[in-house]
Structure 1
């Protein structure tokens, strides 16, 4: 094995750990976000000459695939069709594919294990209504955007499915739907880059004048708790943000068991997918993984395992570095700017329509903002948004809306994509 192989393993597995440490200890890294830092690192790895160059012959032989099977590569090397450097690059491509597909499938059950459906239904009545409105507006605006740009965006039905996923559950759903629909790396990276860019603008709006704007036409939040907000905030920070105590015996071993359950879920889901046609097999894996994850969240012993959400987020960061390293920036300029407008309509259109409908049902401004932020930006941003609102009590609502979005986003994304196809 050459040094490139070990460098890639190190970057994919260890770099996310370092980035998590930076995010938890430095305010600038926290503001940028671990996901964005990982994407930046991956794009840097893939586009600045860190990886070995390949020969024109290898380009011709790979025929649009991510990598060539190792047996074939050995035959090509013996025949003199490829070089040893091509062999190294092919191994790296295999690792990129492995780390951009397996971790995202393993992370979904781990994230869903932390979902307490019964508790959410008891404590977040307004959140149920806000969630339903949020899902409806995302679907509506995705359909509107599809109608507007269907002639100018390549494979727009796949993009539509990813947008439904990312605006109902965030990066895990978008990544899972990418796998389910076989979306190209370039389209995925560009779509997600636009999504993160516009998401940053959205967060700036929320952190500055968002609450004042929404209060013009939505009622203010009325406290539902009597002195319990501080406890909730601490519990949620422990459940969804803190990595402290990750390697303690009473945390690590149950967490390792949860990881084993996720591996088993993926294995069973893969076997069940063989019952379907090749065209639908990947989508079936995603749907089965999601379903088993939700089902096992009803088992108290599994749901109470600590740090499953954090382990899932670590796997997402591995995915982010790996998939970004596969993007060829030189190809991105060929994709229509219509995609940028489509992402913007899905994001901003759905949230402001959400607020307009919430006015009819008299849902308060803070609940609408935290629900929209959870769907648009994913649960890790909820405590940050709640801090900007100066309202600790909505953290629970935002977390449950976001995690419920994780649960339904894969179903909706795949269904919408195949309907539009």
Structure 2
């Protein structure tokens, strides 16, 4: 019961605070970098699929989840697991593999990633005009301060009520399609309605709705982990781990090559990749390691776009490969 309701509730909460209008305002090179990263991801997903299709059962489901997790993050991974009715053990194997490979990539970025990228890509040109906006955007994702204050709790109840309404809309529409597709329709509907609600100023300004959504994601992760079968997990993990490794490393290399061709600077390439591979909450940390706060808003926006499109892409790719 917990696993079936937490993700549908979390998705709208994560999207309510999205500034869709800002998506069209981020620098052209950032949008180009996002597009190149998605192209690189698709190439590696298809390459890995054909490499392991005879070795990994239900690889089409893994492919869909990897598209989701590397466009938006864990929320998309979990949402696509629900949409595709993925076995809990396969989900856990994918999630654990992602965490292992992602941790290595994260350490690389925080340590000498920038110096490595600068060997091939131009340096970022500083502007220094938007530090306050960047700081505020980072705090919007990082801060849980005051979440138990009465004023905030009232807003969270409103956000939760809208999230429940969104889930009911998605659930209602899912009843109009064949059972096999019902969960996918529900997740995509919930995502769409969540984005639509974010366009309403009063909804968009509800404080801490993103943090509440992340709380539901954590509850889901703990619940699924408790149901995992260790033996099946160990048996499934090797090829899932190899697949995840190819996707992360392959996307990283291809994205860097494409960025070099299109002359995108190192910091923009890094923050785009970080936002997609590790999700928005990691963007301020990466920006700090790069000593460049100017890229925070662009990175966060890329990550939020990933949250919004990840479910569509992941489910589409999964069914295309089934």
How high is the TM-score relative to the length of structure 2? 0.97
Question: In the alignment, what sits opposite 2:87?
Answer: 184
Q: Which runs of 5+ in 2 are unaligned?
A: none
What does the per-residue CA deviation read over 1:44-63, in whole Å, with 9 as the maximum and x for residues that have no partner?
xxxxxxxxxxxxxxxxxxxx
CA contact (8 A) 1:110 1:293 kept: yes
Number of residue pairs aligned between Structure 1 and Structure 2: 322
Pair 1:397 & 2:298 matched: yes
Residue 71 of structure 2 is matched in structure 1 by 168
1:373 to partner: Cα distance: 0.6
Superposition RMSD in Å: 1.2
Instruction: Indicate yes or no: 2:107 matched with 1:219.
Output: no
User: 2 CA distance for matches of 1:353 and 1:171?
Assistant: 23
Q: Between Structure 1 and Structure 2, whose CA radius of gyration is higher?
A: 1
Q: Corresponding residue for 2:314?
A: 413
- Structure 1 residue runs of 5 or longer lacking an equivalent are 1-97
Provide the rounded CA distance (Å) in 2 between the counterparts of 1:215 and 1:107: 38
Query: What's the offset of the Cα at 1:149?
Result: 0.6
1:217, CA displacement in angstroms?
A: 1.0
Tell me the distance in 1 between the aligned counterparts of 2:289 and 2:269: 14
> 319, 344, 347: which one pairs with 2:245?
344
Please give the alpha-carbon distance, in whole angstroms, between the structure 1 residues aligned to 2:61 and 2:231: 22
Between the aligned partners of 2:235 and 2:106, the Cα distance in structure 1 is: 29
Aligned residue among 303, 307, 315 for 2:208: 307
* Per-residue CA distance 1:17-51 (angstroms, 9 max, x = gap): xxxxxxxxxxxxxxxxxxxxxxxxxxxxxxxxxxx
Pairing 1:383–2:278 present: no
Q: Does 1:150 align with 2:37?
A: no
Indicate conservation of the 8 Å contact 1:232/1:393, yes or no: no
CA contact (8 A) 2:97 2:237 kept: no
> 1:252: Cα distance to partner?
2.0
Q: Take 1:132 and 1:290, find their aligned partners in 2: how far apart are those partners?
A: 21
Whole-Å separation in 2 of the counterparts to 1:237 and 1:221: 20
d(CA) in 2 for partners of 1:143 and 1:234?
A: 38
Q: Give the structure 1 partner of residue 173 of structure 2.
A: 272
Alignment of structure 1 residues 323-342 onto 2, 5 Å: 323-335=224-236, 337-342=238-243
Deviation for aligned residue 1:333: 2.6
Q: Which of 218, 221, 228 lines up with 1:320 in the alignment?
A: 221
Larger relative contact order (Cα-Cα within 8 Å, sequence gap ≥ 6): 2
1:116 maps to 2:19: yes
- 1:103 and 2:2 matched: no
* Contact 2:22/2:301, CA 8 A, preserved across alignment: no
Residue matched to 2:184? 283
> Deviation of residue 360 (structure 1)?
1.5
Classify the secondary structure of the residue corresponding to 1:275. coil
Counterpart among 129, 134, 138 of residue 37 in structure 2: 134
Asked if 1 retains the 8 angstrom alpha-carbon contact of 2:280 and 2:304, the reply is yes
TM-score normalised to structure 1 length: 0.75
> Could you say which residue in structure 1 is the equivalent of 2:255?
354
Change (3 A) 1:119 1:333: closer
Q: Could you report, residue by residue, the CA deviation over 1:184-243 in whole angstroms, capped at 9, with x for unpaired residues?
A: 1111101111110010100111111100010111111112342x31x1243123311101
